[in-house]
Amino acid sequence: MISLNQLTSLVNSLKSVDKNTARTIIKLVNVDVLKSLGDSKYLIQINDKTLTAQSQKQLQEGSSYFARYDAKQKTLPQLSKLINIPNLFKNQHILKDANLTYDIKTLQHILNSKEPAKTIKEQILDELSKSQNKEHFQTVSNLLLSLNQNVLSFPFIIYEYFGLLQLKKRYNKKTKKSYLNFYAIFEHLGPISGVISEDSISLNVAYDEIKDFLDENLDEISYNITLHVMDNIEPLYDINKNDKLLDIQV
């Protein structure tokens, strides 16, 4: 069986990485795409500033990305290495207000319970019964839709960090062993995905700098860890327009 100590050790190590140091190393910005202007130009919002920037990657209006931001005099700012931000992560203010964010102790308790999915479903349904506006209902419903796809989605806060953790248990018929696919996203590290098996952890990160940084900061974990850089790191579940709440078996 997979020891949950691997998962909790990994999350603890990731949350202990200094946010300001990581930001300095990778220099990520959170970009909201407001409008496409043509010729690879976009009207974007970074924090409270609205400006025009250029991206060779085609961006979708209304989407949010982590990106490198390069601004030089007399030229348009350039966006590169763009990584899509999941809607569940983007709506973190709602999840915080909904009392559906977990700390590491609560996360351990739920995952060690006999029926983690049942516990989570009960909490989500209880929160849905309290919904007073459409935005709250839709965001909380997406946690239920995630569960319907056999993906456990955990918004969590540890100290000042907000993150999203997703887990999906799988079984290899050839080796007759179970393993966990996981996805996590942090504001200061971007997305991380990978596989947790009985004796090892394989991690995928989006940036070379993050790989080098984690190589130096995950040495306290006793499990065998391998790190890779991957261009497209997707969540195990994100909001899909084809998903319908009525299809869920409550």
Residue 31's domain spans which residues? Answer: 27-84
241: pLDDT strictly greater than 60? no
pLDDT band (50, 70, 90) for residue 246: very low
Q: Does one domain contain both 70 and 151?
A: no
DSSP H/E element including 96: helix 92-97
Measured between alpha carbons, how far is 164 from 184 in angstroms, rounded to an integer?
5
Q: Are residues 98 and 139 both part of a single domain?
A: yes
Q: Where a domain ends, among 52, 69, 84?
A: 84
Total domains, the chain: 2
Residues 183 and 161 in one domain: yes
54 and 99 fall within a common domain: no
Record the pTM. Answer: 0.82
Percent of the chain with pLDDT over 90: 25
Residues 31 and 144 in one domain: no
To the nearest 10 degrees (0 to 180), the angle between helices 134-148 and 116-128 is 160
Both 123 and 211 in one domain: the answer is yes
Return the amino acid letter for 7: L
The least confident of 18-22, 91-95, 136-140, 245-249 is: 245-249
- CA atoms 45, 54, 237, 170: torsion sign: negative
In terms of pLDDT, which residue wins out, 243 or 46?
46
- The per-residue pLDDT for range 191-207, each reduced to its tens digit, is 889 998 877 888 898 88
The CATH number linked to 67 is 2.40.50.140
pLDDT digits (tens, 9 = 90+) for 170-228: 888 888 888 889 898 887 778 889 998 877 888 898 888 878 877 876 766 666 888 99
Residues 75 and 154 in one domain: no
Residues 156 and 71 in one domain: no
